[in-house]
Amino acid sequence: MALLEKIVYDYLWGLPLVVLVLFAGIFFTFYTKFFQFRRFNYSLKKTFKELKSENDDAEGVISPLEALSVALGATVGVGNIGGVATAIAFGGPGAVFWLWIAGLLGPIIKMAEISLAVHYREKDEKGETYGGPTYYIHRGLGKEKNLMGLSKILNFIFIFGFGTGFFLTVQNYTITEAIATTFDLNMILVSAVFTLLLYGIIAGGLSSLAKIASKLVPFMVLFYLAGGLFIIFKNIDMLPESFRLIFSSALTGSAATGGFIGATVAQAIKIGMSRAVFSNEAGWGSSPMIHASAKTNHPISQGLLGIFEVFMDTIVILTITSLVIMTTGQWSSGLDGAALTLSAFELGLGNIGRIVLTVGIFLFGLTTVSGIYAQIEVLLRYTLGPKNKNKDKILSVYKWLYPLPGFLMVVVAVYYGLPGIQVWLFADMSTALPIFANIIALLLLSPKFIELVKDYNNRYIKKKDVDKNFKVFYEDKILESKKN
């Protein structure tokens, strides 16, 4: 495992990828004149307005609320509970600072990828819309002769990297670990039951999944926040010291203490950035595959929801998880993963706290795993193409196969006695490659994103100087070219 750890954090999640993620965030922040900060209030108002609207007059498969719920359900999940705990256990308190940095730069990255996914989305033979990185790489870059070869390489890297998440998945493990340790149950048995429940949820496809998520996600977020905030206020006297440790360790590293073995600044940056991206998914290219199916009249309207998505995931929920672990003093206990967060909640609320969090993990887990199912389905649809005669059969087989690798990961982890930190290495492997390909594509397509931002600003904010010839959706451009 030492070799695997070196490969993941020295090469896949090494300095080049960390710099690339930071550069993309800084680049889009300056390129849009600090849009995520200037228009933050507007984006929140727009988000809540969109959530009340079904947008039945717009093209798409699911409502904006349903798209946000599925994407947020997949985002706000085990990455917040098990991932951030592992980040602190492995990278020290300083990792939280780098989680925040990613949370400040991530909103504009996610807004860009969602907007481009909606703009370049494709309509299938049933009139349903699908999109994501593979679509905007192919349609946005692949149509340019000098970028055609690069687009194929980037798409291969993205599909291969994201596809490994089908096999190397940690969600089932994290959920199973939490339930099994809380109620003293056999992990494999718990995993088998969870797998059967997952089959039931994904049976109805994206539309059914979206309706379930829109009911579950708001409840589970409030449920989790209430418990976390109570613990933080209960230990309010430890808050100043927690913040001091976070900021000082971010730039100097963390000394060994208690069960914590210590961490360097480099460790804090790498583990903090990787866990942040795994949690809020900004730059990963996952959420855009859900948002691309939303009913919306403009790509930026849906892209604005990405700002709220990252804010809620990283700045709110992830921060609360971190502060619960820090203020209870459990960060140096030697525990990691869901076990660390469970221990902190139990210390803060007693046994009822552990049960509350376990229920939260279960609900988060269902929406996370089912959301990832929908994302990989989009990749399959792109790979198969709209005219593949066996597409429906292959998608049906995928539906039956999808829950199995997660169950097998639990079996392997239990059989070999793998600790949580080692299991999370597999998660980091599955994020690095698609992030690399996706961010390169986003940077190359940044002029189109800016065009969309300007058009939206003229249409809906300034309400003047609208270019009537500008095509909001790529499909409209194709239709016009066919007519001519």
Provide DSSP, 86-148. HHHHHH-THHHHHHHHHHHHHHHHHHHHHHHHHHT-EE-TTS-EE-SHHHHIIIIITTSGGGH
Alpha-carbon span 452 to 433, nearest angstrom: 27
Q: Which two tokens stand for residue 174?
A: 């994290």
Instruction: Give the list of residues 6+ apart from residue 414 with CB closer than 8 angstroms, or none.
Output: 187, 188
d(CA 99, CA 271): 9
Token pair 């913040």 in the structure block, residue:
243
pLDDT 10s digit of each residue in the chain, 484 long? Answer: 555 555 555 556 666 777 888 899 999 999 999 999 998 898 888 877 766 665 555 665 566 666 666 666 666 666 677 778 888 888 888 888 988 988 899 999 999 999 999 999 988 777 778 889 999 999 999 877 788 889 999 999 898 888 777 776 777 887 887 788 788 888 899 889 888 888 877 776 656 666 666 666 677 777 778 888 999 999 999 999 999 989 988 878 776 676 676 677 777 877 777 777 767 778 888 888 888 888 888 999 889 988 988 888 888 888 998 999 999 988 888 787 777 888 888 888 888 877 877 777 777 777 777 777 888 888 888 888 877 788 888 888 888 888 888 888 888 878 776 655 555 566 666 677 888 899 999 999 999 999 999 999 999 888 888 888 888 888 877 666 666 5
C-alpha radius of gyration, the chain, whole number = 21
> In which residue are the tokens 């940044």 written?
446
Q: Where are the domains of the chain?
A: 2-483
Q: Report the CATH architecture of 2-483.
A: Up-down Bundle (1.20)
Give the largest Cα separation in the chain, rounded: 72
The span from the CA of 151 to the CA of 382, in Å, is: 14
Closest CA to 277 of 41, 18, 9: 18
Which residue matches tokens 């100097």? 252
Alpha-carbon span 46 to 311, nearest angstrom: 14
DSSP 26: H
In the block, tokens 């797998």 appear at 195
In which residue are the tokens 């919306």 written?
Answer: 296
Tokens (6 digits) for 89: 């256990």
Distances (CA, A) of 55 to 2, 163, 389: 51, 32, 32
> What's the pTM?
0.84
Angle, helices 94-119/446-456, rounded to nearest 10 degrees: 80
